[in-house]
Amino acid sequence: MAKNPTSIEKKYHDDLCRIVGCIACRLDGNINHVVSVHHCDGRTKPGCHKKVLPLCAGHHQDGTGEDKTMIAIHPWKRRFEERYGTQEVLMEKCNMLLKLAKVAEACRAGHSWSEAERRRAAR
Could you write out the DSSP letters of every residue in 16-69?
A: IIIII--HHHHHTT------EEEEBTBSSSTTGGGSEEEE-HHHHBTT-SS-TT
pLDDT per position in the chain (123 positions), as tens? 558 899 999 999 999 999 999 999 999 999 999 999 999 988 888 889 999 999 999 999 998 988 888 999 999 999 999 999 999 999 999 999 999 998 888 777 776 667 777 677 666
Domain ranges of the chain: 7-97
Return the CATH class of domain 7-97: alpha beta
Give the pLDDT confidence score for residue 122 in this predicted structure. Answer: 65
Give the pLDDT confidence score for residue 2 in this predicted structure. Answer: 59
